[in-house]
Chain A
Amino acid sequence: MDTVPADGLLSASWLLIALPLAGAAVLLLGGRRTDRWGHLLGTATVAAAFVVALACTLQLDERQVAVDLFTFIDSGSLDVRAGLLFDPLSAVFALLITGVGALIHVYSIGYMAHDPRRRRFFAYLNLFVAAMLLLVLGDNYVALYVGWEGVGLASYLLIAFWHERPAAATAAKKAFIMNRVGDVGLALAIFVMFAQLGTVTYEGVFGSVGLLAGGTVTAIGLLLLLGACGKSGQFPLQAWLPDAMEGPTPVSALIHAATMVTAGVYLIARSAPIYDLTETARTVVLCVGAVTLMIGAIAGCAYDDIKKVLAYSTVSQIGYMFLAVGLGPVGYAAAIAHLLTHGFFKAGLFLGAGSVMHAMDDQVDMRRFGGLAKKLPVTFVTFGLGYLALIGFPFLSGYWTKDAIIEAALDRGGVSGWVLGGVAVLGAGLTAFYMTRLMLMTFFGKARWAPSAPGRPTPHPHESPSVMTAPMVLLSIGSVAAGFLLVQAFPLVEWLAPVFGEPEEAEHVVAPALVGIAVTAVMALGVLAAWLFVGRREVPVVAPERVSVVTRAARKALYADAINESLFMRPGQWLTRALVWVDNRGVDGAVNGMAAALGGSSARLGRAQTGFVRTYALGMLGGAVLVAGALLAVTAG
């Protein structure tokens, strides 16, 4: 479909980015003066951006609109124009970001009410929203990259928001460094595109990528994938995401569940014309997705920290999305649909977890929860709906979108189709298990409440204020209805057709109804197992030590940190130590030795400067003799 220049309201779509950016600027530059109303301004800018996004989306009848902003870099043959591309894909992202973002801003007003640095928190959140919108709205890879780094920065700042806690500071650094690995991949991919095609706009790249050699396209695809893995916490760069839960819970909900971590899926979906040309890169995407979905689900079963379980669940769900985009044209729309529903229910779950923590004096250990259903009724109901949506309870959001992915995987046919489908179904079972375990340990059973620290009172759980519960209620409505709306009522596949092409009628290997029944059965098995292992028994307040090898491995997140440490960190440390040694002994030695030699010769030469005119005159005479001798020698020679 051709891109048309923007007119009417759409030409104002730059406001989407400008509004939150202006909010961030005012809050950061305004200083303490804005303390009293800063949070309200921050929320208002995002809400206004949501209104703009909604209006633009309703106006979008040409379905692909370009907005020219200004020339960003024009140097020699590099001509980067800052332009926006408002098409169905960026439209759904803009709606998700501003919609969920606005709800989480509202929630944060209550959650951060007692934090002395609340204004700064809202400034960073606004900065994040602006950067994320630039990421999805830019019409070229450089704009995407700028947004990509912007959200990375905001994520770093927000994970370390409570930087006085060493764990938060370390987690922020870990996230930043692991993201760098991915960012290098993205940057290299852009370099290759520019070197080979001379352009970085989507239009230009997709128009001419077909002329490239297959190997080059595969290289671009794999480099983009590396970037996507870093940002989305996919194998092998998944370890930073659970640690990022050290940040305030609204951050976990917005950045590390609903939006930023799905940027990798956006990148691959946006680059669909590249991946369409390279079977190899697509297969790697598939494998990454499948592996990550299992790692996340297994690790999620073993953790006792409520936010970490949700974080591993996020890793696992994004694995589903990668699996879907790896499937090619049949999977793109399914991946985006799951991304949207996941945005709703996972954000809702995190906000619920935040509400629980709020009630329990900021504790996160589920072994000290229990019996909270009666104390926190609104949280329990909204959280419960999110839980049902996530595990794929029939006719709730997750059921529709996850089933679509599993179906698409099975439809691939052959051995790989069965393996991938099997993994996806098994993952659904594990999801049901760990989420049921979480529900049981948190809301059911006996209260196992304990003081958060020696000397603190035992918490008296109470429901959160309405400024926090209202967003949870709205998100839970989304968790219930979004799947049906996006898959059945207003199919996303058709909305996204201008981007990904008209959906083909797939030949089903297994009848869709059968898949639905099978997945539901496996899910029920997971729930049952969780009840058998957790619900029936007393939950020990301290995690038992004598556990099976599998549990031990799962508790260590399948040794991801250990592998990273032994493969990269230790050799890196050895290398730096060796370099420091070489620097101290070799380089410094040479430099210091030379300095000493020069200083010594300076002092020795300086002795000639006696201060006596006779010495000076003699020196001049000697010089004159040398000069004359040299000239005569040259002439004679």
Chain B
Amino acid sequence: MIEAPDLSLAALTPLISLFGAACIGVLIEAFAPRESRHPAQVAVALVGTVGGLVSTLVLAGTRDGNDVTAGGALAVDGAGLFLQATIAGLGALSILLFAERALDPARSSFVAAAAVPAGSPRDRELLTADRVQTEVYPLATFAIGGMMLFVAANDLLIMFVALEVLSLPLYLISGLARRRRLLSQEAAVKYFLLGAFASAFFLYGLALVYGATGSVRLSTIQESVATAGGDTLMVLGLALLIVGLMFKASVAPFHTWTPDVYQGAPTPVTAFMAACTKVAAFGAILRLLYVGFGTDEWTWRPLVYGIAIVSMVVGAVLGLTQTDLKRMLAYSSIAHAGFLLTGVLGFDAAGESPGLSATLFYLLVYGLTTLGAFAVLTMVRDGDGEATHLSQWAGLAQRSPVVAAVMTLFLLALAGIPLTSGFTGKFAVFRAAIDDGAWPLAVVALLASAVAAFFYLRVVVLMYFSEPVAGGPTVGVPGLPTTIVLAVTAAATLVLGVVPGSVLDLAGQAANLVG
């Protein structure tokens, strides 16, 4: 007789909220009439994500101490809850971006019927149809649920399952753009192939670690690492696990998919990936490195050190020559992954962990800012959809001063200019790295920030100091969803830059992982 593991339903509420909403979404898709699907799906997805956020916050407020549940497969700890709340919140904002129907004359960013071949007469007919492939909402909700599971997984097997749960819907919704469908489908296929490749690395690493330690539970792995030290099998396994996770976090040299997929995917999906996937992947990286291999710090430390440098340099340098804003933000995301790794390195297994809290804070502010920046991209359009080429943004401030100002705020935050949240985040992770003796890394990070600042500020200069081009793009009047997203992200970017104290304190209190 197999004993059922103890399940704390309270600890599972956030996940149940998300996966439940996703399942309801599938049912709606099957049974609701087509006209009413879109509002119903949006409502269910929002209820699910907001419910996930609220239940996570309630759980964080009521729990006493760190715990594990589901037979030790799931961690209920400060960092996990912080990241889950971040993902749920950013996820809810992303759903709002998905739901925007006022900006595009074609009524949505998402295709009307994905099965219709791109470019066919039927496809052209459907371009301006009211129909939307509403499966994106349950798919996105599943992905958000997977991400929340990913950051709480205390077990490599659960981690792998979560990885797949979050990845597969992402591959799909990347290919659902209403305009430039071939580009979008190409991006989806690329993402799928490379994602599968990366998953295989992760799975093989899992197998090797299991072979070396006889367990997939992170706490057991930690014990065996502490006693046995690193044997070749286990180290190889760790290497492959790191590769798999770094791929998801779009860290160089595993970043190559990022620009193509970010550019091809529908912009709300790009925003979702840039914000939420990054948080989820770093949550898993933190858990793997701090919990599973925390006692073996000196094995992975030099490696992560090097990867951080490579990622910062590649992201910053390659960003310089980009002429497409979505690709530019993709390289920015790669550089930011490197900055985040400097925070990961500010690791102190002894207890007080400035690196952990700094990384948590950075993930939150970066997610909000990048989501806002992509939201602005959805608003600047010409006849063909979004106008993402740099030259089209010339003189935007004359045409639309508010949008230009908001975008400037986000770009300054991404560049890490003081009085924006980006500065506070960068300051926190660099200080953590310096406190931990990794000052050369901080120097490289500062130089990379300086280089990266060029391409952010170039957009600002272009918007404010260039004459508008004739026949340039127009700035659409956003509907309520996008307005909410912009208001929340812009306010957060500013507030967390000017008075970050309380949120920094919160991240500091949350900075603990169950052993």
Contact = CB atoms under 8 A, between A and B. Distances in A.
A599 B256 contact: no
A311 to B, nearest CB: 46
Nearest to B298: A634
A620 to B, nearest CB: 5
A620 B239 CA distance: 13
Looking at B236, B298, B303, the one whose CB has the most chain A CB atoms below 10 A away is B303
Contacts of B232: 632, 635
A550 interface: no
Interface stretch (B83-91, B193-201, B396-404, B503-511): B193-201
A627 B194 contact: no
Give the contact-size bracket for chain B: 35 or more
A623 B253 contact: yes
Interface in B172-200: 189-190, 193-194, 197-198
Interface string B354-389: 000000000000000000000000000000000000
Contacts of B243: 620, 623-624, 627
Contacts of B321: 599, 602-603, 606
Give the contact-size bracket for chain A: 20 to 34
A260 to B, nearest CB: 39
B411 interface: no
Contacts of A620: 194, 197-198, 243, 247, 253-254, 256
Given A613-B194, A619-B256, A620-B256, A631 B320 contact: no
Contacts of A609: 256, 259-260, 318
A619 B247 CA distance: 12
B302 interface: yes
A419 interface: no
B253 A631 contact: no
A269 to B, nearest CB: 46
Contacts of A611: 260
Interface in A598-637: 598-599, 601-603, 605-606, 608-609, 611, 613, 615-617, 619-620, 622-624, 626-628, 630-632, 634-635
A631 B190 contact: no
A617 B302 contact: no
Nearest to A636: B232
A65 B483 CA distance: 60
Contacts of B451: 598
A628 B260 contact: no
A602 B235 contact: no
Contact of A631 (B193, B201, B238): B238
Nearest to B320: A602
B239 A605 contact: no
Given A613-B193, A616-B194, A617-B193, A631 B239 contact: yes
B299 A631 contact: yes
Contacts of A624: 201, 239-240, 243
Interface in A518-564: none
Contacts of B79: none
A140 B268 CA distance: 61
A624 B197 CA distance: 11
B303 A623 contact: no
A598 B194 contact: no
Given A613-B193, A634-B299, A602 B317 contact: yes
B311 to A, nearest CB: 11
Contacts of B439: none
Contacts of B238: 631
B429 interface: no
A627 B299 contact: no
A631 B209 CA distance: 14
A15 to B, nearest CB: 38
Contacts of B318: 602, 605-606, 609
A631 B237 CA distance: 10
B415 interface: no
B314 interface: yes
A632 to B, nearest CB: 6
B378 to A, nearest CB: 24
Nearest to B236: A628
A238 B254 CA distance: 71
B300 interface: yes
B302 A634 contact: yes
A278 B384 CA distance: 81
A340 to B, nearest CB: 52
B327 to A, nearest CB: 9
A470 B296 CA distance: 95
B257 interface: yes
Given A599-B321, A620-B247, A613 B190 contact: yes
Interface in B199-239: 201, 230, 232, 235-236, 238-239
A631 B194 contact: no
Looking at A603, A609, A628, A631, the one whose CB has the most chain B CB atoms below 10 A away is A631
B306 interface: yes
Nearest to B197: A617
Interface in B246-285: 247, 253-254, 256-257, 259-260
A598 B319 CA distance: 10
Given A602-B318, A623-B243, A630 B303 contact: yes
Interface in A158-181: none
A596 to B, nearest CB: 11
B111 interface: no
Contacts of B230: 635
A608 B232 CA distance: 32
Contacts of A623: 243, 253-254
Looking at A608, A609, A627, the one whose CB has the most chain B CB atoms below 10 A away is A627
B501 to A, nearest CB: 19
A499 B256 CA distance: 80
A632 B237 CA distance: 11
Contacts of A632: 232, 235-236, 239
Contacts of B319: 602
Given A601-B317, A606-B321, A617-B194, A627 B239 contact: yes
Contacts of A606: 318, 321
A429 to B, nearest CB: 64
A630 B247 CA distance: 17
A616 B257 contact: yes
Interface in A193-248: none
B242 interface: yes
A605 B317 contact: yes
Contact of B317 (A598, A622, A630): A598
Nearest to A616: B256
B314 to A, nearest CB: 7
Interface in A243-259: none
A634 B304 CA distance: 12
A430 to B, nearest CB: 59
B344 to A, nearest CB: 15
B302 A598 contact: no
Nearest to A629: B239
Interface string A574-616: 0000000000000000000001001101110110110101011
A616 B191 CA distance: 11
Contact of A630 (B190, B240, B302, B314): B302
Contact of B190 (A603, A616, A627, A634): A616
Contacts of B235: 631-632, 635
Interface string B293-329: 0000011101100110000001001111100000000
21 contacts: A599-B321, A602-B319, A602-B320, A606-B318, A609-B256, A609-B260, A616-B194, A616-B257, A617-B197, A619-B253, A620-B254, A624-B239, A627-B242, A628-B239, A630-B239, A630-B303, A632-B235, A632-B236, A634-B302, A635-B232, A635-B299
Given A606-B321, A609-B318, A631-B300, 19 more contacts: A598-B320, A598-B451, A599-B320, A602-B320, A603-B321, A606-B318, A608-B256, A609-B259, A619-B253, A620-B197, A620-B198, A620-B254, A620-B256, A624-B201, A627-B242, A630-B302, A631-B299, A631-B303, A632-B236
Q: Considering the complex of A and B, which 7 residue pairs feature the smallest CB-CB distances, nearest first?
A: A623-B253, A616-B256, A628-B239, A602-B321, A602-B320, A624-B243, A631-B239
